[in-house]
Amino acid sequence: MTHVARLAILPVLMVFTCAGMAQAQPVQNYPARAIRIVVPFPPGGTSDILSRTIGQKLTEEWGQQVITDNRPGAAGNIASDFVAKSKPDGYTLYINTVGTHAINPAIYAKLNFDPLKDFTNITNLVNLPSVLLVHPSVPARSVKELIALAKKRPGDLQYSSAGSGAQPHLTAEMFKSMTGVNILHVPYKGAGPQMIALISGETALTFATAPSGVPLAKNGQARVIGVTSAKRIPALPDVATINETVPGYVAVGWNGLAGPAAIPAPVLEKIHATVSKTVRMPDIRDKLIGLGAEPALSTSAEFTELIKSELVKWARVVKESGAKLD
Protein backbone atom coordinates (compact mmCIF):
# COMPACT_ATOMS: atom_id res chain seq x y z
CA MET A 1 0.00 0.00 0.00
CA THR A 2 1.39 3.41 -0.96
CA HIS A 3 1.93 6.23 1.47
CA VAL A 4 -0.82 8.21 -0.24
CA ALA A 5 -3.28 5.29 0.11
CA ARG A 6 -2.48 4.96 3.79
CA LEU A 7 -3.21 8.64 4.32
CA ALA A 8 -6.48 8.27 2.42
CA ILE A 9 -7.88 5.52 4.63
CA LEU A 10 -6.61 7.05 7.89
CA PRO A 11 -9.68 9.30 8.40
CA VAL A 12 -11.96 6.30 7.77
CA LEU A 13 -10.15 4.23 10.39
CA MET A 14 -10.38 7.11 12.84
CA VAL A 15 -14.15 7.35 12.30
CA PHE A 16 -14.63 3.62 13.01
CA THR A 17 -12.31 3.77 16.02
CA CYS A 18 -14.12 6.76 17.52
CA ALA A 19 -17.50 5.14 16.86
CA GLY A 20 -16.34 1.99 18.62
CA MET A 21 -15.09 4.01 21.59
CA ALA A 22 -18.38 5.91 21.71
CA GLN A 23 -20.29 2.61 21.92
CA ALA A 24 -17.97 1.05 24.48
CA GLN A 25 -17.72 4.09 26.74
CA PRO A 26 -21.35 4.07 28.01
CA VAL A 27 -21.12 0.35 28.76
CA GLN A 28 -17.83 0.77 30.60
CA ASN A 29 -19.13 3.69 32.69
CA TYR A 30 -22.60 2.24 33.40
CA PRO A 31 -24.49 3.69 35.13
CA ALA A 32 -23.65 7.26 34.14
CA ARG A 33 -27.10 8.75 34.80
CA ALA A 34 -30.37 8.07 36.57
CA ILE A 35 -32.06 4.68 36.15
CA ARG A 36 -35.76 4.02 36.33
CA ILE A 37 -37.41 0.84 37.53
CA VAL A 38 -40.83 0.55 35.93
CA VAL A 39 -43.52 -0.91 38.18
CA PRO A 40 -46.67 -2.21 36.44
CA PHE A 41 -49.02 -1.26 39.28
CA PRO A 42 -49.86 1.80 41.43
CA PRO A 43 -47.90 2.65 44.60
CA GLY A 44 -48.55 0.47 47.64
CA GLY A 45 -48.36 -3.01 46.15
CA THR A 46 -45.66 -5.65 46.38
CA SER A 47 -43.89 -4.64 43.16
CA ASP A 48 -43.77 -1.03 44.33
CA ILE A 49 -42.44 -1.98 47.78
CA LEU A 50 -39.79 -4.17 46.18
CA SER A 51 -38.70 -1.52 43.68
CA ARG A 52 -38.34 1.20 46.30
CA THR A 53 -36.58 -1.07 48.79
CA ILE A 54 -34.00 -2.28 46.28
CA GLY A 55 -33.82 1.04 44.43
CA GLN A 56 -32.67 2.88 47.53
CA LYS A 57 -29.75 0.48 47.97
CA LEU A 58 -28.87 0.58 44.27
CA THR A 59 -28.72 4.36 44.46
CA GLU A 60 -26.14 4.02 47.25
CA GLU A 61 -24.16 1.34 45.40
CA TRP A 62 -24.05 3.07 42.02
CA GLY A 63 -24.02 6.72 43.05
CA GLN A 64 -26.82 7.36 40.56
CA GLN A 65 -30.48 7.97 41.35
CA VAL A 66 -32.70 4.91 40.90
CA ILE A 67 -36.29 6.04 40.47
CA THR A 68 -39.49 4.00 40.71
CA ASP A 69 -41.77 4.72 37.73
CA ASN A 70 -45.33 3.46 38.34
CA ARG A 71 -47.18 2.73 35.09
CA PRO A 72 -50.42 0.92 36.02
CA GLY A 73 -53.14 -0.32 33.71
CA ALA A 74 -54.42 -3.43 31.91
CA ALA A 75 -53.08 -5.78 34.61
CA GLY A 76 -49.52 -4.68 33.86
CA ASN A 77 -49.73 -4.85 30.06
CA ILE A 78 -49.21 -1.10 29.64
CA ALA A 79 -45.94 -1.20 31.56
CA SER A 80 -44.79 -4.39 29.82
CA ASP A 81 -45.39 -2.88 26.40
CA PHE A 82 -43.55 0.30 27.41
CA VAL A 83 -40.50 -1.59 28.65
CA ALA A 84 -40.44 -3.94 25.67
CA LYS A 85 -40.20 -0.92 23.36
CA SER A 86 -37.63 0.97 25.48
CA LYS A 87 -33.98 1.37 24.52
CA PRO A 88 -31.98 -1.67 25.79
CA ASP A 89 -29.24 0.36 27.46
CA GLY A 90 -29.82 -0.70 31.06
CA TYR A 91 -31.44 2.58 32.10
CA THR A 92 -34.99 1.19 31.95
CA LEU A 93 -35.53 -1.82 34.21
CA TYR A 94 -38.76 -3.59 35.11
CA ILE A 95 -40.27 -5.39 38.08
CA ASN A 96 -41.99 -8.15 36.15
CA THR A 97 -44.37 -10.53 37.87
CA VAL A 98 -46.13 -13.84 37.53
CA GLY A 99 -49.11 -11.78 36.39
CA THR A 100 -47.41 -9.73 33.69
CA HIS A 101 -45.31 -12.56 32.25
CA ALA A 102 -47.19 -15.81 32.95
CA ILE A 103 -50.88 -15.09 33.62
CA ASN A 104 -51.55 -12.28 31.12
CA PRO A 105 -50.40 -14.31 28.11
CA ALA A 106 -52.96 -16.95 29.12
CA ILE A 107 -55.89 -14.67 29.78
CA TYR A 108 -55.50 -11.96 27.12
CA ALA A 109 -56.31 -12.96 23.55
CA LYS A 110 -53.67 -10.60 22.17
CA LEU A 111 -50.66 -8.81 23.65
CA ASN A 112 -48.42 -6.20 22.03
CA PHE A 113 -45.32 -7.92 23.37
CA ASP A 114 -43.82 -11.39 23.68
CA PRO A 115 -43.11 -12.30 27.34
CA LEU A 116 -39.89 -14.07 26.37
CA LYS A 117 -38.53 -12.59 23.14
CA ASP A 118 -39.05 -8.91 24.01
CA PHE A 119 -37.29 -8.91 27.40
CA THR A 120 -33.93 -9.47 29.01
CA ASN A 121 -34.68 -11.59 32.07
CA ILE A 122 -32.10 -10.47 34.64
CA THR A 123 -32.99 -12.37 37.81
CA ASN A 124 -35.88 -13.58 39.88
CA LEU A 125 -35.99 -11.51 43.07
CA VAL A 126 -38.55 -13.06 45.42
CA ASN A 127 -41.09 -15.85 45.56
CA LEU A 128 -44.42 -14.57 46.84
CA PRO A 129 -47.03 -16.57 48.68
CA SER A 130 -50.36 -14.81 48.98
CA VAL A 131 -52.55 -14.41 52.04
CA LEU A 132 -56.31 -14.76 52.29
CA LEU A 133 -57.60 -11.71 54.16
CA VAL A 134 -61.09 -10.93 55.42
CA HIS A 135 -62.57 -7.69 56.72
CA PRO A 136 -62.86 -7.70 60.55
CA SER A 137 -66.67 -7.73 60.23
CA VAL A 138 -66.61 -11.13 58.48
CA PRO A 139 -67.36 -13.81 61.11
CA ALA A 140 -65.08 -16.46 59.57
CA ARG A 141 -61.81 -17.04 61.43
CA SER A 142 -60.49 -19.93 59.37
CA VAL A 143 -60.56 -21.16 55.79
CA LYS A 144 -63.02 -23.86 56.79
CA GLU A 145 -65.37 -21.30 58.34
CA LEU A 146 -65.09 -19.02 55.28
CA ILE A 147 -66.00 -21.86 52.93
CA ALA A 148 -69.02 -22.72 55.10
CA LEU A 149 -70.09 -19.05 55.20
CA ALA A 150 -69.72 -18.63 51.44
CA LYS A 151 -71.80 -21.77 50.80
CA LYS A 152 -74.45 -20.56 53.23
CA ARG A 153 -74.59 -17.17 51.48
CA PRO A 154 -73.83 -17.93 47.78
CA GLY A 155 -73.04 -14.84 45.72
CA ASP A 156 -73.20 -12.58 48.77
CA LEU A 157 -69.49 -12.26 49.59
CA GLN A 158 -67.40 -10.06 47.31
CA TYR A 159 -63.63 -10.20 46.86
CA SER A 160 -61.39 -7.44 45.55
CA SER A 161 -58.47 -7.92 43.19
CA ALA A 162 -55.74 -5.78 41.64
CA GLY A 163 -57.52 -6.07 38.30
CA SER A 164 -59.08 -8.65 36.03
CA GLY A 165 -56.48 -11.23 35.09
CA ALA A 166 -54.05 -10.15 37.81
CA GLN A 167 -52.57 -12.70 40.20
CA PRO A 168 -55.09 -12.08 43.04
CA HIS A 169 -57.93 -12.67 40.59
CA LEU A 170 -56.53 -15.98 39.36
CA THR A 171 -55.60 -17.06 42.90
CA ALA A 172 -59.20 -16.46 44.00
CA GLU A 173 -60.64 -18.20 40.93
CA MET A 174 -58.47 -21.21 41.68
CA PHE A 175 -59.88 -21.17 45.25
CA LYS A 176 -63.44 -20.99 43.91
CA SER A 177 -62.80 -23.85 41.52
CA MET A 178 -61.33 -26.13 44.18
CA THR A 179 -63.88 -25.38 46.92
CA GLY A 180 -67.09 -24.84 44.94
CA VAL A 181 -67.87 -21.51 46.61
CA ASN A 182 -69.66 -18.66 44.85
CA ILE A 183 -67.92 -15.38 45.68
CA LEU A 184 -68.13 -12.32 43.42
CA HIS A 185 -65.15 -10.63 41.81
CA VAL A 186 -64.69 -6.84 42.12
CA PRO A 187 -61.60 -5.71 40.17
CA TYR A 188 -59.67 -2.56 41.10
CA LYS A 189 -56.79 -0.76 39.37
CA GLY A 190 -53.87 -2.10 41.35
CA ALA A 191 -52.99 -3.58 44.73
CA GLY A 192 -53.33 -0.27 46.59
CA PRO A 193 -57.01 0.27 45.67
CA GLN A 194 -57.60 -3.48 46.12
CA MET A 195 -56.46 -3.28 49.76
CA ILE A 196 -58.33 -0.03 50.45
CA ALA A 197 -61.52 -1.73 49.28
CA LEU A 198 -60.97 -4.48 51.83
CA ILE A 199 -60.07 -2.36 54.86
CA SER A 200 -62.93 0.08 54.12
CA GLY A 201 -65.40 -2.80 54.01
CA GLU A 202 -66.35 -2.32 50.35
CA THR A 203 -65.42 -5.97 49.87
CA ALA A 204 -65.46 -8.83 52.36
CA LEU A 205 -62.23 -10.58 51.42
CA THR A 206 -59.24 -10.62 49.14
CA PHE A 207 -56.17 -12.60 48.15
CA ALA A 208 -53.06 -10.43 48.30
CA THR A 209 -49.37 -11.09 47.95
CA ALA A 210 -47.88 -11.38 51.43
CA PRO A 211 -45.89 -8.09 51.41
CA SER A 212 -49.14 -6.23 50.68
CA GLY A 213 -51.28 -8.17 53.13
CA VAL A 214 -49.06 -8.95 56.12
CA PRO A 215 -48.84 -5.31 57.35
CA LEU A 216 -52.63 -5.01 57.33
CA ALA A 217 -52.97 -8.18 59.38
CA LYS A 218 -50.33 -7.03 61.88
CA ASN A 219 -51.97 -3.65 62.47
CA GLY A 220 -55.48 -5.08 62.77
CA GLN A 221 -56.99 -3.55 59.63
CA ALA A 222 -57.80 -7.00 58.28
CA ARG A 223 -57.71 -10.60 59.47
CA VAL A 224 -55.55 -13.15 57.70
CA ILE A 225 -57.01 -16.66 57.75
CA GLY A 226 -54.80 -18.56 55.31
CA VAL A 227 -51.65 -18.50 53.20
CA THR A 228 -51.32 -19.94 49.70
CA SER A 229 -47.89 -21.56 50.00
CA ALA A 230 -47.28 -25.26 50.62
CA LYS A 231 -45.82 -24.49 54.06
CA ARG A 232 -46.50 -21.82 56.66
CA ILE A 233 -44.44 -18.64 56.27
CA PRO A 234 -42.06 -17.12 58.88
CA ALA A 235 -43.94 -13.80 58.80
CA LEU A 236 -47.17 -15.54 59.95
CA PRO A 237 -46.12 -18.78 61.68
CA ASP A 238 -49.50 -19.23 63.42
CA VAL A 239 -51.58 -18.91 60.24
CA ALA A 240 -52.48 -22.18 58.55
CA THR A 241 -51.97 -22.79 54.85
CA ILE A 242 -55.08 -23.11 52.71
CA ASN A 243 -53.57 -26.40 51.64
CA GLU A 244 -54.24 -27.75 55.16
CA THR A 245 -57.99 -27.35 54.51
CA VAL A 246 -58.08 -27.65 50.71
CA PRO A 247 -55.51 -30.34 49.81
CA GLY A 248 -53.48 -29.48 46.73
CA TYR A 249 -54.18 -25.75 46.81
CA VAL A 250 -50.85 -23.94 46.30
CA ALA A 251 -50.50 -20.61 44.49
CA VAL A 252 -47.15 -18.86 44.80
CA GLY A 253 -46.14 -15.94 42.62
CA TRP A 254 -42.86 -14.14 42.08
CA ASN A 255 -41.39 -10.75 41.27
CA GLY A 256 -38.29 -10.49 39.14
CA LEU A 257 -36.12 -7.91 37.44
CA ALA A 258 -36.11 -7.55 33.66
CA GLY A 259 -35.40 -5.04 30.94
CA PRO A 260 -35.86 -4.69 27.19
CA ALA A 261 -34.41 -7.43 25.00
CA ALA A 262 -30.72 -7.19 24.00
CA ILE A 263 -29.26 -5.35 26.98
CA PRO A 264 -25.46 -5.52 26.38
CA ALA A 265 -23.81 -8.41 28.25
CA PRO A 266 -21.42 -6.21 30.32
CA VAL A 267 -24.34 -4.05 31.49
CA LEU A 268 -26.46 -7.11 32.24
CA GLU A 269 -23.63 -8.62 34.28
CA LYS A 270 -23.15 -5.42 36.29
CA ILE A 271 -26.86 -5.08 37.02
CA HIS A 272 -27.13 -8.74 38.03
CA ALA A 273 -24.08 -8.56 40.33
CA THR A 274 -25.19 -5.37 42.09
CA VAL A 275 -28.82 -6.42 42.48
CA SER A 276 -27.76 -9.82 43.84
CA LYS A 277 -25.45 -8.13 46.34
CA THR A 278 -28.30 -5.84 47.41
CA VAL A 279 -30.87 -8.60 47.96
CA ARG A 280 -28.32 -10.57 50.02
CA MET A 281 -27.73 -7.64 52.41
CA PRO A 282 -28.97 -8.72 55.87
CA ASP A 283 -31.23 -5.69 56.36
CA ILE A 284 -32.89 -6.11 52.94
CA ARG A 285 -33.20 -9.88 53.33
CA ASP A 286 -34.73 -9.54 56.81
CA LYS A 287 -37.18 -6.90 55.60
CA LEU A 288 -38.34 -9.06 52.69
CA ILE A 289 -38.76 -12.16 54.86
CA GLY A 290 -40.61 -10.11 57.46
CA LEU A 291 -43.09 -9.09 54.79
CA GLY A 292 -43.63 -12.69 53.73
CA ALA A 293 -41.45 -12.60 50.60
CA GLU A 294 -38.81 -15.29 50.05
CA PRO A 295 -35.58 -14.01 48.43
CA ALA A 296 -35.03 -16.17 45.33
CA LEU A 297 -32.13 -14.89 43.24
CA SER A 298 -31.34 -16.71 40.00
CA THR A 299 -29.19 -16.49 36.91
CA SER A 300 -30.65 -14.91 33.80
CA ALA A 301 -31.00 -18.35 32.18
CA GLU A 302 -32.68 -19.83 35.26
CA PHE A 303 -35.15 -16.96 35.36
CA THR A 304 -36.04 -17.50 31.70
CA GLU A 305 -36.70 -21.19 32.38
CA LEU A 306 -38.92 -20.27 35.34
CA ILE A 307 -41.01 -17.98 33.14
CA LYS A 308 -41.35 -20.70 30.50
CA SER A 309 -42.63 -23.20 33.09
CA GLU A 310 -44.96 -20.62 34.66
CA LEU A 311 -46.51 -19.85 31.26
CA VAL A 312 -47.53 -23.51 31.00
CA LYS A 313 -48.77 -23.71 34.62
CA TRP A 314 -50.97 -20.61 34.57
CA ALA A 315 -52.40 -21.37 31.14
CA ARG A 316 -53.68 -24.58 32.71
CA VAL A 317 -55.12 -22.71 35.74
CA VAL A 318 -56.92 -20.25 33.47
CA LYS A 319 -58.40 -23.06 31.38
CA GLU A 320 -59.47 -25.22 34.34
CA SER A 321 -60.96 -22.35 36.35
CA GLY A 322 -62.70 -20.78 33.37
CA ALA A 323 -61.47 -17.38 34.52
CA LYS A 324 -62.26 -14.53 32.14
CA LEU A 325 -61.70 -10.80 31.98
CA ASP A 326 -64.69 -9.03 33.53
Domain with 114 in it: what CATH number? 3.40.190.150
The predicted pLDDT at position 319 comes to 84
Q: Tell me: do 236 and 272 sit in the same domain.
A: no
Confidence of residue 26 (pLDDT cuts 50, 70, 90): low
Boundary of a domain, candidates 244, 262, 284: 244
Does residue 157 register a pLDDT over 60?
A: yes
- Overall domain count for the chain: 2
Q: Tell me: do 133 and 209 sit in the same domain.
A: yes
Q: Tell me: do 104 and 143 sit in the same domain.
A: no
Does residue 96 register a pLDDT over 50?
A: yes
The predicted pLDDT at position 12 comes to 46
Boundary of a domain, candidates 244, 272, 288: 244
Q: Tell me: do 218 and 135 sit in the same domain.
A: yes
Does residue 296 register a pLDDT over 70?
A: yes
Would you say residue 168 lies in a domain? yes
The residue with greater pLDDT, 88 or 320, is 88
DSSP string, 132-198: EEE-TTS---SHHHHHHHHHHSTTT-EEEESSTTSHHHHHHHHHHHHH----EEEE-SSHHHHHHHH
Q: Tell me: do 123 and 136 sit in the same domain.
A: no
Would you say residue 7 lies in a domain? no
The predicted pLDDT at position 24 comes to 47
Domain assignment of residue 233, given as a range = 129-244
Boundary of a domain, candidates 223, 244, 265: 244
Does residue 238 register a pLDDT over 90?
A: yes
Burial code of 66-103, b = ≥16 C-beta within 10 A, e = fewer? Answer: bebbbbbebbbbebbbbbbebebbbbbbbbbbbbbbbb
- DSSP character for 243? G
Does residue 168 register a pLDDT over 50?
A: yes
Does residue 33 register a pLDDT over 70?
A: yes
What average pLDDT score do residues 193-206 get?
95
What is the identity of the amino acid at 301?
Answer: A
Q: Tell me: do 140 and 201 sit in the same domain.
A: yes
The predicted pLDDT at position 317 comes to 81
Confidence of residue 22 (pLDDT cuts 50, 70, 90): very low
The predicted pLDDT at position 13 comes to 45
What average pLDDT score do residues 121-129 get?
95
Q: Tell me: do 276 and 302 sit in the same domain.
A: yes
Cα–Cα nearest to 262, from 60, 122, 110? 122
Cα–Cα nearest to 208, from 169, 244, 176, 174? 169
The predicted pLDDT at position 192 comes to 82
Q: Tell me: do 259 and 110 sit in the same domain.
A: yes
The predicted pLDDT at position 306 comes to 95
What average pLDDT score do residues 113-131 get?
96
C-alpha–C-alpha distance, residues 180 and 151, integer Å:
8
Q: Tell me: do 220 and 134 sit in the same domain.
A: yes
Q: Tell me: do 181 and 37 sit in the same domain.
A: no
Average pLDDT across the chain, whole number: 89
The predicted pLDDT at position 1 comes to 52
